[in-house]
Structure 1
Amino acid sequence: MSATSYRQKYRVLLAEDDEINQQIVMAFLASAPHIELTVVGDGRSALEAALGSKYDLMLFDHNMPHITGDRVIRYLRSGNSSNAATPVVRFTADADRAEVKSRDGLIDAVLPKPLKAETFLTTIESILRRD
């Protein structure tokens, strides 16, 4: 991931209630100066952030307090939100391998927990470069 190959900053929203997982994602992205990360800790805060700002990518935990990641995603996709078409990566402890889905669906990729740096970075970089 060469910073010189990027001409813009990408705005990324991380919605994750587990502080350790938040720190893991922040550590993975520490070497990515082209990514500006916003971190929230529950579904309600994720929805508020996504309704208030435009993001290039949203990373959602599946199980979060107040509102699940899937419900937030469905709400954003169904409305006139500025993030209605923003790519989404979902984290879940229920998956055993990474799965990249088509852009037509609600979710662009599913990453299993625990997160692995190489899989995480490869997935988000490939999604950010699609546009």
Structure 2
Amino acid sequence: MNAATYQQKYRVLLAEDDEVNQQIVMAFLSAAPHIELTIVGDGRSALEAALGTKYDLMLFDHNMPHITGDRVIRYLRSGNSSNAATPVIRFTADADRVDIRTQDGLIDAILPKPLKAETFLSTIESILQLG
């Protein structure tokens, strides 16, 4: 057996309605074989995925169809979901007008769009405590 056999896989949920941003995140994570990425395109699908599967990290866009990222996060945090305590990174194009703060316990980090690979990857590594 090689070292990769013992390496932990991390399940990451990406809730992002913009296909270009989905592709960007996939490209950023393409060199990270230890991350298993699930992608959904709206808030309703994000909620269904998070209620059905335990993730190690969840990445949420703020503005999504059906249910906003913040509402999904609030719902998961307030209930008995297996992801009630899962770390959350929120993406937003309105980083300077963010109405939800990381210190209220709902999210662990906020990343502005457009995403920058170095910031994105270092934030994920820090939250998942990699390396």
- Displacement of 1:52 in angstroms is 0.2
Alignment match, 2:23: 23
Write out aligned runs for 1:56-71 (5 A): 56-71=56-71
> Using the alignment, how far apart are the partners of 1:92 and 1:20 within structure 2?
14
Write out aligned runs for 1:119-130 (5 A): 119-129=119-129
**Deviation per residue, 1:41-85 (Å, 9 max, x gap):** 000000000000000000000000000000000000000000000
Write out aligned runs for 1:1-131 (5 A): 7-95=7-95, 101-102=102-103, 105-129=105-129
Identity of aligned residues (%): 88
- The one-letter amino acid of 2:72's match is V
> Using the alignment, how far apart are the partners of 1:55 and 1:79 within structure 2?
16
Measured on the aligned residues, the alpha-carbon RMSD in Å equals: 1.9
> Using the alignment, how far apart are the partners of 1:128 and 1:7 within structure 2?
13
- Displacement of 1:113 in angstroms is 0.1
The unaligned stretches of length 5 or more in structure 2 are none
More divergent stretch after superposition (66-75 vs 87-96): 87-96
- The one-letter amino acid of 2:42's match is D
> Using the alignment, how far apart are the partners of 2:18 and 2:69 within structure 1?
13
- Displacement of 1:7 in angstroms is 2.2
- Displacement of 1:22 in angstroms is 0.1
Moved over 4 A (4+): none
The unaligned stretches of length 5 or more in structure 1 are none
TM-score when normalising by structure 1: 0.89
- The one-letter amino acid of 2:49's match is A
TM-score when normalising by structure 2: 0.89
